Amino acid sequence: MDSDALNTFLVVHRRGGISNAAKALHRSQPAISRRIALLEQELGVPLFERIAGKTRLSDAGRVMVPYAERAVAAAQDAENAVRALLRDSAGPVSFAVVGTLAGGRLAEVLKRFAREHPDVALTLRTATSAEVSDLIRRGEATIGLRYDRDRSRDLDCEVLFAEPLQVVCAVDHPLAGGRVAKLADLRAERWIAFPEVPGRREITASHVFALFQTAGMGEIDWTPVDSLTAQKRLVEAGLGIALLSQSNAAEEMRASTIATIRVDNLTASHDVVAVTRRGGFLSAASRRLLEIIRADFTRRKPAQPRAGSRSGARRR
């Protein structure tokens, strides 16, 4: 059982069948089928079943997946470690980040890294928090940035800082720059929030709705919007209010296109967490990127909004 066989097994699983796996791996379908057949022969059990015309994991295949992922990731670590001996300042670095964290602060981090390591091939992928962890676990990304700690034993998580949440509204909203005693006082407002998609859990969506439930706001009037930028544009247009982390609305606050509503009993925050694979190999370039992220994100704490402050008129 070698890493190529295990990787072929994983690609067939992720791509949903032999044909799609053959395209992804640039091999023929018979070659992929033969590779899986040899692996099943070695193990003595079938790894896939055909159900309703679709390729599905067998019970043995489901047991196999996490072990195969770790083995393939370890093989990639070994290759990266050897290549790093030849040229430690170059090579690929794969970075996965939650889309709502890919803002101005991250752009400055990446600019600094690119200046220091011009020969490094840096790739950036955006995903949900759960998907960031999966990419790190499978070895498809080296460093991840997500919300809240992942309790998996396969991952190392470092909390960089806790980013407070705030209620944002249009600058001409009656409560813009004002304050209310509790979140439930805003129950009658129309809210704009990330949708909760079955099978694709996102920390930010779950957290916001948990806050609503805790505040006794289960039956609110809300618009699901899966884009942070679109949410902010709707808020600016006065089509609803939203609960966002401070960095998510920092640019609009500076431009005075969005205002805040101070909520006295709102103390919620998101932990921003750096994720790496436990025991995984980090090249010198990867370690440097992690150092820059750690230094920048822990040094530049989000600014606290002034009580009673109100954003000015929209700039032309």
Domain boundaries along the sequence of the chain: 3-82, 88-160+271-299, 162-269
User: How confident is the model at residue 103, as a pLDDT?
Assistant: 78
All residue ranges of the chain with pLDDT < 70 are 83-91, 196-207, 218, 299-316
CATH number (3.90.470.10, 3.90.340.10, 3.40.190.290, 1.10.150.650) of 162-269 reads 3.40.190.290
User: How confident is the model at residue 296, as a pLDDT?
Assistant: 85
Dist CA 17 CA 39 (whole Å):
16
Same fold, 3-82 and 162-269: no
Phi, psi angle pair for 259, to nearest 5°: -115, 170
Fold type of domain 88-160+271-299:
D-Maltodextrin-Binding Protein; domain 2 (3.40.190)
CATH of span 3-82: 1.10.10.10
Whose structure tokens read 């101005």? Answer: 104
User: How confident is the model at residue 106, as a pLDDT?
Assistant: 87
Q: What are 50's two structure tokens?
A: 């055909």
